[in-house]
Amino acid sequence: MTRVVLLGLDGFPHRAIRADLTPRMWDLAQRGGRAPAGGTTDLPSSTDPGFCSLLTGCKPATHGVRTTSWRYARLPGWVGVETPRVPAIFDACRAAAVRTAAMVADDRALLCTGSADRRWPPGGVIPHGIPLDAHGYPMNAAVHPHMMNAITDDSLGLVFGHLNEADTIGHDQGPESEAAQACYRETDRLVGELLDALVGRWADTIVVIVSDHDMQSRTALAPIDPMTSEADGRWDAYVPDGGAALVHLLPGVDPQRAADALLRIDGVETCEIANDSLAIVGAKPGRIFAAPRYSAGGFHGAPVTARTVALVGGGHPAVKPIADAIQRTRPHLADWAPTLAPLLGIDLGRVDGLNLAS
């Protein structure tokens, strides 16, 4: 049976994958493959949209989860949905009797893992006594034993693991801080232990390591407020998500004229018209959208943080064509599920992502 191990490193920068800082992941990439410029994700480049794309094979326009801001307040319907409106890879595995596990450092279980045969935290509830990071998520060392138990269970075809500390430390102390560098090293050590445990079935195994987004450092530049004179009856509200924002367009407004006006706002770099009532704007490097609160160190959401880690390794014959593909073309997070599904013998149905091995 083919075994797939999919590791998601929250907020882990592509630039941290290098021989001196993360030698185990670097070695995996040298023997397998690595996207030279990293992978990519949609805006806002944040946790919930990113992991929903990874685990459904669909992009936000299809799965509907457009922002992580749902975690902090109930948001209006024009923003999107709180949980994906399409099935995840775990649902397809269950339908095909392929057993799965999801071991994640997130009390909401990253929205997509409800159909996994084994889950931690159980029921999405963090057990009492588990050591937590500064944002209330289980520390990497607390998740690691559960991931180790899963990948050594030969009955499991797909194991998904998620480690969160790089994101928390990047937000609080900055992605280039000494604390962040130490976290990257320690994360690599834990990943190395997982790789060592896979050796016995290496020939049957595919390992994919990704992140959901990158992270950039805060600067002293003023936050961007879209509710400027440029709004002028074109939009009436926005939801910030770090270096991106979802903007509500008013009925009857010409979307292209609204986009042109949004691009005139100081600090705005990109504007995508998602539909007649929604525009998604991205900030220039170092800029953040005005919000009720801000991270002290780093943030994401912007075009510059839409770069993801994208590594593949293992002894399975599919590793080489996947490695060749990501060398040529930057993979989107939505490409990984359609790539892995045929190897697991499952059918995802209609998705947005591409099979990198075909």
Q: What is the pLDDT along the chain (358 residues), one digit of tens a residue?
A: 899 999 999 999 999 999 999 999 999 999 999 999 999 999 999 999 999 999 999 999 999 999 999 888 889 999 999 999 999 999 999 999 999 999 999 866 578 999 999 999 998 899 999 999 999 999 999 999 999 999 999 999 999 999 999 999 999 999 999 999 999 999 999 999 999 999 999 999 999 999 999 999 988 899 999 999 889 999 999 999 999 999 999 999 999 999 999 999 999 999 999 999 999 999 999 999 999 988 889 999 999 999 999 999 999 999 999 999 999 999 999 999 999 999 999 999 999 999 999 8
CATH 3.40.720.10 in the chain is located at: 3-217+300-344
**Which of 311, 325, 105, 308 has its CA nearest to residue 207?**
311
Do the bridges between strand 310-313 and strand 205-210 make them parallel or antiparallel, or are there none, so unpaired?
antiparallel
Residues 200 and 315 sit within 8 Å (Cβ to Cβ):
no
Q: Which residues contact 24 (CB under 8 A, 6 or more apart)?
A: 188, 189, 191, 192, 195
Q: Assess contact for 91 and 158: CB atoms under 8 A.
A: no
Q: Any idea which architecture 3-217+300-344 has in CATH? A: 3-Layer(aba) Sandwich (3.40)
